[in-house]
C-alpha cells in the first residue's frame, strides 16, 4: 500500500509541477448499473460515504441508477456517450467481468474503460425465507436432487450471469444438471429479495451483502456462503458451502471504472483519493457497515487483475456451454 501511495503522490506532484493542477470534479456522480437495493447500489454508497467522511471529496456525490443488461447499459453509455466526463465513476463487480467474458456488453470488451479501483469483496450466498422448510444447505441440495424444477430460485441476472453461475456451480457440485434448475431472473439484487419475502421464489442466490439487512431483521436465513472459510463478525455462525461438502467458492469483488477518454490528470486525481481512502483505518469501519471485506487494488494493478479474471471466466463460461 505504501508503494502505491508513493507512486500516486509522485504522479500527482509531477502533474502539479507541469502546471496541470488537479481539481475536484464539480458534480461527482457514481452510476449504479441496476435498480436501487443491490450490490451496485451498495458499492456506490460506500464510495459516497467513505469519501465524504474522510474529507477526500468536498462536493456531495450523487448516486444515479442505470439498470439494464446487468451492467451492459451503463457500460455502453459510459464508453459511447460519456467517455471524457471527469466526475463520473461507475460501479462494477465480478459479475460485470463475467458478462464481459461472454461478450454480453456488446462490441465493448474489458479494455474499453479505465479501471479505477477495487474497494472490497463479498461472497456468494444461498438465502431462504425465515419460514422455509429448508433448514440447511444439505436440505436444499436434497430438494434439488429430488425435483430440481420444483424449487424456484431467484437471482439478479439471466442465464450466464454471476448469480446463475453460482447456482450452476452448486448444482454441478451435487451432480445436478444446471439446465434443470427452475431459475427466475431479475434485474439487480433488490428485486430477488423482494420476491423471496413475498413468497414468489423459495431461495435466492446473491452476494451475502445483499442479504444481511434482512438477515439482521430476522426475515431470512442464509444457508451457506461461498467462501473458502467462515467469514468474520456477524456472519461467523453461517457455514460455508465447502465445509458442508460442496466445493463452491465465489468471491465478488466490487469497485469502479471510468470512461476511456478521461484525462490522465483526472484519473490520477480519483486514483489518489481511493488509494488514500483504502489506506485509512476508518474506512475499514465504513466497509464493515456495508458488509464488505477488505480487497484493494487501483490503476495498473487493478487493470491486470481485471484482464486475468476475464480470461479465467471465459474458461468457466466455456465449460458451461455459454460461449458460442
pLDDT of residue 70: 79
Give the DSSP letter of residue 72: H
Whole-prediction pTM value?
0.85
H or E stretch at 194: helix 190-197
Q: What φ, ψ does residue 224 adopt, rounded to 5°?
A: -165, 145
Whole-angstrom distance, CA of residue 289 vs CA of residue 42: 10
H or E stretch at 92: strand 88-93
Angle of helix 281-289 relative to helix 39-53, nearest 10 degrees?
150
Higher-confidence position of 70 and 201 = 201
> Region 285-306: what's the mean pLDDT?
93
For the cut 90, the answer to whether the pLDDT of residue 323 exceeds it is no
pLDDT of residue 187: 75
Task: Please write the tens of the pLDDT for every residue from 46-94.
Answer: 999 999 999 999 999 999 999 988 799 999 999 999 999 999 999 999 9
Pair (142, 289) in one structural domain: no
Domain count, the chain: 2
Pair (55, 155) in one structural domain: no
Tell me whether residue 6 is in a domain: yes
Tell me whether residue 324 is in a domain: no
pLDDT of residue 124: 95
Whole-angstrom distance, CA of residue 294 vs CA of residue 163: 21
Q: What is the CATH number of the domain that holds 165?
A: 3.40.190.10
Write down the mean pLDDT value for the chain.
90
Tell me whether residue 179 is in a domain: yes
Range of the domain at 263: 2-121+252-319
Residue of 12, 39, 17, 46 whose CA lies nearest to 296: 46
Amino acid at each position: 500500500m505504501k508503494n502505491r501511495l508513493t507512486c500516486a503522490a509522485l504522479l500527482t506532484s509531477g502533474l502539479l509541477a507541469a502546471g496541470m493542477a488537479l481539481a475536484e470534479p464539480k458534480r461527482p456522480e457514481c452510476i449504479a448499473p441496476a435498480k436501487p437495493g443491490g450490490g451496485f447500489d451498495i458499492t456506490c454508497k460506500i464510495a459516497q460515504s467513505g469519501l465524504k467522511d474522510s474529507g477526500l471529496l468536498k462536493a456531495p456525490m450523487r448516486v444515479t441508477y442505470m439498470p439494464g443488461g446487468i451492467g451492459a447499459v451503463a457500460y455502453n453509455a459510459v464508453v459511447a456517450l460519456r467517455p471524457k466526463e471527469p466526475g463520473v465513476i461507475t460501479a462494477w463487480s465480478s459479475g460485470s467481468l463475467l458478462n464481459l467474458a461472454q461478450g454480453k456488453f456488446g462490441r465493448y470488451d474489458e479494455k474499453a474503460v479505465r479501471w479505477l479501483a477495487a474497494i472490497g469483496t463479498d461472497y456468494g450466498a444461498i438465502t431462504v425465507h425465515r419460514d422455509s422448510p429448508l433448514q440447511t444447505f444439505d436440505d436444499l441440495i436434497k430438494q434439488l436432487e429430488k425435483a430440481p424444477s420444483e424449487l424456484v430460485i431467484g437471482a439478479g441476472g439471466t442465464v450466464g450471469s454471476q448469480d446463475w453461475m453460482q447456482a450452476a456451480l452448486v448444482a454441478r457440485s451435487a451432480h445436478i444438471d444446471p439446465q434443470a434448475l427452475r431459475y427466475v431472473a431479475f434485474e439487480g439484487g433488490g428485486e430477488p429479495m423482494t420476491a423471496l419475502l413475498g413468497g414468489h421464489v423459495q431461495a435466492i442466490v446473491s452476494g451475502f451483502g445483499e442479504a444481511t439487512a434482512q438477515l439482521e431483521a430476522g426475515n431470512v436465513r442464509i444457508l451457506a456462503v461461498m467462501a473458502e472459510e467462515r467469514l468474520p463478525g456477524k456472519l461467523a455462525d453461517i457455514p460455508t458451502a465447502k465445509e458442508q461438502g460442496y466445493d463452491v467458492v465465489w468471491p465478488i469483488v466490487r469497485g469502479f471504472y471510468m470512461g476511456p477518454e478521461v484525462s490522465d490528470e483526472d484519473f490520477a486525481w480519483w486514483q489518489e483519493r481511493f488509494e488514500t481512502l483504502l489506506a485509512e483505518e476508518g474506512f475499514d469501519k465504513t466497509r464493515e457497515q456495508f458488509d464488505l471485506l477488505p480487497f484493494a487494488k487501483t490503476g495498473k494493478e487493478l487493470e491486470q487483475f481485471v484482464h486475468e479474471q476475464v480470461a479465467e471466466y471465459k474458461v468457466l463460461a466455456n465449460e458451461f456451454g455459454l460461449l458460442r
